[in-house]
């Protein structure tokens, strides 16, 4: 590792997830552009690995890729960039006056600028016996490897949560040839991204993969045998067998480190438009923050936060972060899903829908006073970006609706319009 110069300020990044990796890319790009090094950088990560693509853990579980393939920055990468990397020991204390942090193993690291990028953890559910062996909160490489090890010898599994991560976990476990039952408290799958009809279509697709569903229900307790999970009892009274359980019901910000050391915030660490916390010399970004009351779990705003923070730290440029509306494009076990804005129409709004149950294609545009305020696409998402642009622009689409619902290509083809007429 290169020697650390005493003439440069010290930048310490606590956390080594995807947003920390993106921040490093943004910092290095600006330093390369300037032709000068601005900081001596130290990264401290709780996990033993370098920065990896957490989104791809589902693909690791499904055996479509490997752990090695999803690591984006291994230990050699940090060394090659002259970055000090302390792995496998989380930061447990911040001394704001003396400007140092301390890790769980007692190592102290001084800073001039401190960045908290501690991310989030899987949310827990209020079920009894949640801490039994072979119950996993799907979040890390260690979780994924543990699930794969247990699944190899199991015959049944329960997955809790019908969001994207829960669906991907169920799909991955089903590929082990075991009976998988997914429990979701909503009445349909992906209820934040899909309406009831599209959710039902997704359920049919997943059932064809051998996955069973208990919708509109929750886990009351897990059953135990020799310290490990052997089943689950639902609030409805139904009993399920399970030698393995996965809880994938959302995330909780890892904000305690900042909040317990005096930083402002309610659910997470409060930052301003430039990722500055309430304390001088301490910034934060990613899933551990709240910005104007909002917390974050999608990649797009996190990348823009990294750009804002890097611009301020390196170039002293103030480029404010804005929490913009974004579209959600998901690939659930080979099925394309796109949604933006509202999912359900409200009083006074119009829903324009086409559905092909045999081809498993569904489209819905929600219209309010001639303008698109919601998009739900299932199976064919080719016009998603076009619909989103129209929604963002607030364009009146009343005259184009008969063609528009069939997609951008149809709507823009004069010949097709003549035929439709």
**DSSP states of 228-274 as a string?**
EEEEEEETTS-EEE-SEEEE-S-EEE--HHHHTTT---SSSEEE-TT
Strands (E) in 171-327, as ranges, are 179-184, 211-215, 219-225, 228-234, 239-241, 244-247, 251-253, 269-271, 282-284, 289-291
Domain ranges for the chain: 10-121+252-315, 135-249, 337-410
Q: Give the β-pairing of 289-291 and 269-271.
A: parallel
Per CATH, the architecture of 10-121+252-315 is what? 3-Layer(bba) Sandwich (3.50)
Show the low-confidence residues of the chain (pLDDT under 70): 1-6, 411-421
- pLDDT number for residue 414: 53
Measured distance CA(242)–CA(155) in Å, rounded:
8
Q: In the CATH hierarchy, which fold is given to the domain comprising 135-249? A: FAD/NAD(P)-binding domain (3.50.50)
**pLDDT tens digits, 363-404:** 999 999 999 999 999 999 999 999 999 999 999 999 999 899
- pLDDT number for residue 418: 45
Percent of the chain with pLDDT over 70: 96
Residue that is written with structure tokens 């589902």 in the block: 58
Whether 372 contacts 390, CB under 8 Å: yes
Cβ neighbors of 229 (< 8 A, separation 6 or more) are: 129, 132, 133, 134, 135, 222, 223, 242, 243, 244, 245
**pLDDT tens digits, 185-233:** 999 999 999 999 999 999 999 999 999 999 999 999 999 999 999 999 9
Nearest to 163 by CA among 136, 188, 133, 134: 188
Class of the CATH domain delimited by 337-410: alpha beta
Half-sphere exposure of 80 (CA within 13 A, CB side): 5
Whether 31 contacts 25, CB under 8 Å: no
Which neighbouring-strand residues pair with 116? 14, 284
- pLDDT number for residue 5: 46
- pLDDT number for residue 7: 85
Same fold, 10-121+252-315 and 135-249: yes
- Please state the pTM of the whole predicted model: 0.91
């Amino acid at each position: 590792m290169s020697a650390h110069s005493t003439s440069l300020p010290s930048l310490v990044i606590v956390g080594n997830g995807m947003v920390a990796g993106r921040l490093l890319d943004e910092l290095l790009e600006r330093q390369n552009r300037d032709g000068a090094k601005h900081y001596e950088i130290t990264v401290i990560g709780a996990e033993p690995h370098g920065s990896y693509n957490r989104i791809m853990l589902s693909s690791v579980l499904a055996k479509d890729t490997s752990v090695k393939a999803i690591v984006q920055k291994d230990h050699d990468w940090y060394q090659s960039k002259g970055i000090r990397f302390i792995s496998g020991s989380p930061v447990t204390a911040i001394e704001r006056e003396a400007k140092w942090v301390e890790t769980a193993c007692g190592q102290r690291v001084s800073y001039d600028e401190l960045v908290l990028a501690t991310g989030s953890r899987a949310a827990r559910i209020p079920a009894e016996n949640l801490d039994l062996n072979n119950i996993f909160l799907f979040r890390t490489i260690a979780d994924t490897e543990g699930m794969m090890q247990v699944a190899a010898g199991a015959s049944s599994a329960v997955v809790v949560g019908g969001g994207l991560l829960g669906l991907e976990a169920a799909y991955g476990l089903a590929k082990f040839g075991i009976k998988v039952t997914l429990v979701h408290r909503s009445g349909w799958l992906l209820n934040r991204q899909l309406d009831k009809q599209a959710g039902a279509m997704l359920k049919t697709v997943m059932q064809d993969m051998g996955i069973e569903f208990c919708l509109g229900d929750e886990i009351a307790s897990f059953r135990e045998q020799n310290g490990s999970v052997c089943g689950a009892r639902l609030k409805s009274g139904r009993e399920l067998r399970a030698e393995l359980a996965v809880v994938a019901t959302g995330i909780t910000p890892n904000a305690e480190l900042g909040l317990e050391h005096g930083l402002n915030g309610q659910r997470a660490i409060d930052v301003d438009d430039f990722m500055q916390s309430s304390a001088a010399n301490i910034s934060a970004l990613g899933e551990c923050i709240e910005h104007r009351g909002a917390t974050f779990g999608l990649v797009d705003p996190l990348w823009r936060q990294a750009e804002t923070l890097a611009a301020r730290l390196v170039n002293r440029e103030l480029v404010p972060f804005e929490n913009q509306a974004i579209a959600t494009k998901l690939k659930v076990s080979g099925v394309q899903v796109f949604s933006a804005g509202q999912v359900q129409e409200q009083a006074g709004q119009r829903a324009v829908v086409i559905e092909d149950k045999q081809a498993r294609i569904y489209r819905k545009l929600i219209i309010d006073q001639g303008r698109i305020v919601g998009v739900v696409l299932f199976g064919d998402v080719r016009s998603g970006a076009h619909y989103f642009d129209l929604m963002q622009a607030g364009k009146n689409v009343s005259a184009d609706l008969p063609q528009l619902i069939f997609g951008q290509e149809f709507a823009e083809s004069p010949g097709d319009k003549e035929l439709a007429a």
